[in-house]
Structure 1
Amino acid sequence: MARVEAVACGSLHEAAWLERNLLEADMPPWNRRPGGEETAIYIVVDARPRTAGVRTSHLARFDDVVGFGPYLGGTRARQAISGLHRAFPLSYTRDRLTGAERAIAARRGIGPQARERFAAAVISALDGTDAEPAREALTAARDRAVAALNFELAGRIHEELAALEWVTSVQRVTVEGGGDQDICGWADGVAVTFAIRGGRLNGWDQRECARSAVARASAVTPPEWTGFAQRNAELAAALIRA
């Protein structure tokens, strides 16, 4: 071992995607499983009267619906959908419901008039605008379950909260339809340059150099990546100097 290099990610979800990207890019001899163990999946929000609801999709095709992702982990995506349904039951606003669904919707006072509001709330949670209403609704539901000594239900809701955090956390290293770019950060005599190819961050290079050597690369680094690049340059410098 010559040295240790590390990358500080914005979330566990982002770190999981980065690991997958690196494995797919390098295919190390003893870890050659394209795609890894986790499933890449999308979440679809459908506000159409006959098919309203939130569901998963394995394809990045979103005709007449709103799509989000990719997310790493089918189980987490489905748990997040379960939680979003618990908070904003969009599927109960469809024009055609089963008898059981009509009874549940009636008991909860839900009708087609809530369709746009529920769809907007789910979209706001998934696009990062405002996930707090969903978190508050699930936290309140979990607390009610605990108060009723229904610990199995409380456990399920707790998992839904964790899954919602997973799908709404920072994740920039894998972007559907993304392009190619290099991002660069410099700190204490160390430059780190990350390579994004096809929307996937799948490699980096770090070297000791003067700031002037990477001034141009740093200047063209997109503003949304500046903090990421700077943070990781500082980490690289700290590890080299340790």
Structure 2
Amino acid sequence: MGSLPNLPGVYRFRDERGRVLYVGRATALRSRVGSYWTNLKGRRHLSRMVPQIVQVEAVVCDSVHEAAWLERNLLERAKPRWNRVRGGLEVPIYLRIDRKGGVPRLVVDYGPFGADRPDDVFGPYLGGTQARLALAGLGRVLPLGYTDERLTGAARDMARIRGVDATDRDAFLATTIAALRREPDAVEAVREQLIQHRDRASAGLAFEFAEKIQQEIEAIDWLVAEQKATVITDPDSDVYGWADDLLVRFEIRGGRLSTWTQRTCRQANAKRFLEQTPDGWRPFADRSAELASRLRDAHERSVHSG
């Protein structure tokens, strides 16, 4: 498996007839794919599949979150024999700015259509747990709820202790939105404050609380990681990459990258396809084609040596 990088991505196995046996995702492709021949652990039901694998194909993704979405989209389109579930187990989630009631607040939603303003919807994200942890982390350092002038009792006392009032509202909201838009300075500011909260909790021997904050940090990292496989605003397009007479094609429909094919194609014939690829997708497409070429060459060498 030396041709595979230890990077996030999606892989699939084919049999001698070229049929797809299985599609999976990985945090580290080389380690994950190699594990099918060394230690299946909780995947023993796949032990009968492994002898049928004759070819490995893979795509490197820009984040584990992107790999999760790509795997889900591929499996919703077609479920190979050895995959147990069509689609995925994680639930698609959105975060939304709710501006009703006078004080904006960040809420979890199950669709992109509940906002008064289109720019107030963020996502989709995979995994309700991750989304709720990220929401908790953002609320910990950007407590919009404490900027309400109508607070009473314990909530008002807590706002006073934390030094928060209505004058902080616009700044908290702007940073929340900027972080969810993946603006680096805002993301770093949120992470730094959460790290300080975590370290203070740990120094005070509140280890369970420190662990919860660490989970919030990781959830925010998950949400703000680059993710192109499912983006509700993306137009329909075809993405092509070419390397060494191998053309790789990805189809994007309805904001979802859900088709991945590859075939032999001469460079002269590939040119008209490559011209269709949107500029923002070119690095992904070129990288995918180069990896596909390496894996094809590795497969051919193994066939000839066998």
Q: Which of these residues, 159, 170, 189, is aligned with residue 105 of structure 1?
A: 159
- Alignment correspondent of 1:58: 110
1:158-237 aligned at under 5 Å gives the runs 158-237=214-293
Deviation of the 1:32 alpha carbon: 6.5
Matches of 2:273 and 2:149, distance apart in 1? 54
Matches of 1:98 and 1:228, distance apart in 2? 52
SS, match of residue 128 in structure 1: coil
Matches of 2:278 and 2:219, distance apart in 1? 30
**Is 2:41 the counterpart of 1:21?**
no
SS, match of residue 57 in structure 2: coil
SS, match of residue 50 in structure 1: coil
SS, match of residue 4 in structure 1: strand
Residues matched between the structures, number:
242
**Structure 2 unaligned residues grouped into runs of 5+:** 1-14, 17-54, 299-306
1:36-75 aligned at under 5 Å gives the runs 36-46=88-98, 50-61=102-113, 62-64=115-117, 66-75=120-129
**Is 2:62 the counterpart of 1:6?**
no
**Structure 1 unaligned residues grouped into runs of 5+:** none
SS, match of residue 5 in structure 1: strand
Matches of 2:222 and 2:125, distance apart in 1? 9
Deviation of the 1:33 alpha carbon: 4.5
Normalised TM-score (structure 1): 0.94
Matches of 1:47 and 1:119, distance apart in 2? 11
Contact 1:46 1:119 in 2 (8 A): no
Deviations 1:175-225 (A, max 9, x none): 114332110011122211111111111111112222221112212211110
Q: Point out which structure has higher relative CO (alpha carbons under 8 A, 6+ apart).
A: 1
- Alignment correspondent of 2:145: 91
Deviations 1:66-91 (A, max 9, x none): 11000000000000001101111112
Contact 1:54 1:91 in 2 (8 A): no
Matches of 2:92 and 2:65, distance apart in 1? 12
Q: Which has the larger radius of gyration?
A: 2
Matches of 1:35 and 1:190, distance apart in 2? 28
Contact 1:50 1:96 in 2 (8 A): no
Deviation of the 1:45 alpha carbon: 2.5
Normalised TM-score (structure 2): 0.75
